[in-house]
């Protein structure tokens, strides 16, 4: 469903990720692991069309989307749960979800909001509450529900577990597992390597913009790769 070929991306003259290649198939999770500043977020933003792709190509369902604007990529079925959640604090939960679905018809929007509430019932209970007054975990759930408003087939998920209680992290991961079960492709960026490996079919370890290891989660566990690489 997604194929990256020698992707190089960056800001201005600077390259922050070099010659990165990987594939994600339907129903597969690819975990992207690496230290701070490795280029994980930049790669996700480049896939969304929000960071400049300097070299290489991005294919989505065999279509070259390398120069497609962000809005078009969302229409094609790619959606991002951004690092730091980026919810709108002065809007209610319901309004945040409406913004997430602003490209849809009203009926479709309401239907998808209702699906979001099924995934995260707490959002329904608090639907009129301002997003800024929610706990970190609730804000994360809102960010996920908002990304799902467009019915993505490929979901990019940046650091969802950061700063959250283990119970909430588990709840978010249950939803990701359900989405994987529905055939969504998922790219997971995680500092929580245990969770990232547990959930992954494939793993890419990124360091200073270079992929220094790629393999299956079984290989990673067997070789104790991640621990060795990240020490
Ligand atoms: N808007 C920007 N302009 C210029 N350089 C940037 C910008 N955003 C990020 N960078 C640089 O790009 C490099 C990769 O950053 P990125 O945020 O992609 O890393 P990351 O792996 O997501 O890190 P973290 O684990 O801290 O989230 C870093 O050197 C960072 O300073
Ligand atoms: Mg990041």
pLDDT of residue 6: 96
Per-residue b/e over 50-75, b at no fewer than 16 CB within 10 Å?
Answer: ebebbebebebeeeebbebeeeebbe
pLDDT at 195 over 70: yes
pLDDT at 48 over 90: yes
pLDDT at 64 over 90: yes
Q: For 176-202, what is the mean pLDDT?
A: 93
Residue 166 or 227, more confident:
166
Q: Which residues contact 135 (CB under 8 A, 6 or more apart)?
A: none
- Give the ligand whose atoms come closest to the C-alpha of residue 38: 1
* pLDDT (tens digit per residue) in 137-149: 999 999 999 999 9
Q: Does ligand 1 come within 6 angstroms of the Cβ of 45? A: no
Residue 196 Cα to ligand 1 middle (Å): 20
Residue 149 DSSP code: T
* Prediction pTM value: 0.94
Atom number in ligand 1 closest to CA 34: 21
* Parallel/antiparallel/unpaired status of strands 29-33 and 185-189: parallel
Going by pLDDT thresholds of 50, 70 and 90, the confidence category of residue 220 is: confident
- To test the pocket of ligand 1, the residue of 40, 46, 47, 157 to mutate (highest count of ligand atoms within 8 Å of its CB) is 40
What domains sit in the chain, N to C, each tagged with a CATH number?
1-77+153-231 (3.40.50.300), 84-151 (no CATH)
Q: Does ligand 1 come within 6 angstroms of the Cβ of 11? A: yes
Residue nearest to ligand 1 atom 25, measured at CA: 36
How far, in Å, are 8, 83, 149, 193 from residue 140 at the CA level? 29, 10, 14, 19
* pLDDT (tens digit per residue) in 81-126: 999 899 999 999 999 999 999 989 999 999 999 999 999 999 999 9
Torsion of CA 185, 42, 148, 72, to 10 degrees: -90
pLDDT at 231 over 60: no
Q: Which residues contact 228 (CB under 8 A, 6 or more apart)?
A: none
**Hey, which bits of 27-142 come out as E strands?**
29-33, 52-60, 63-64, 78-81
Quick check: 180 and 187 in contact, CB under 8 A?
Answer: no
Residue 65 or 217, more confident:
65
């Amino acid at each position: 469903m997604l194929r990256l070929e020698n992707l190089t991306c960056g800001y201005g003259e600077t390259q922050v990720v070099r010659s990165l290649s990987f594939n994600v198939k339907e129903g597969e999770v690819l975990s992207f692991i690496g230290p701070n500043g490795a280029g994980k977020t930049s790669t996700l933003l480049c896939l969304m069309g929000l960071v400049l792709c300097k070299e290489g190509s991005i294919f989505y369902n065999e279509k070259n989307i390398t120069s497609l604007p962000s809005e078009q990529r969302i229409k094609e079925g790619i959606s991002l749960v951004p690092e730091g959640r980026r919810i709108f604090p002065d809007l209610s939960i319901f309004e945040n979800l409406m913004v997430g679905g602003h490209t849809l018809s009203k009926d479709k929007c309401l239907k998808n909001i209702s699906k979001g509430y099924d995934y995260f019932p707490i959002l329904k209970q608090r639907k009129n509450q301002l997003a800024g007054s929610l706990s970190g975990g609730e804000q994360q759930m809102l960010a996920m529900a908002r990304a799902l408003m467009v019915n993505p087939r490929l979901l990019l998920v940046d650091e969802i577990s950061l700063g959250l209680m283990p119970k909430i992290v588990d709840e978010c991961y249950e939803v990701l597992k359900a989405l994987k079960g529905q055939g969504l492709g998922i790219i997971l960026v995680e500092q929580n390597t245990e969770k990232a490996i547990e959930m992954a079919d494939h793993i890419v370890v990124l360091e200073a913009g270079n992929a220094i290891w790629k393999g299956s989660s079984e290989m990673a566990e067997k070789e104790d790769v991640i621990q060795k690489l990240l020490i």
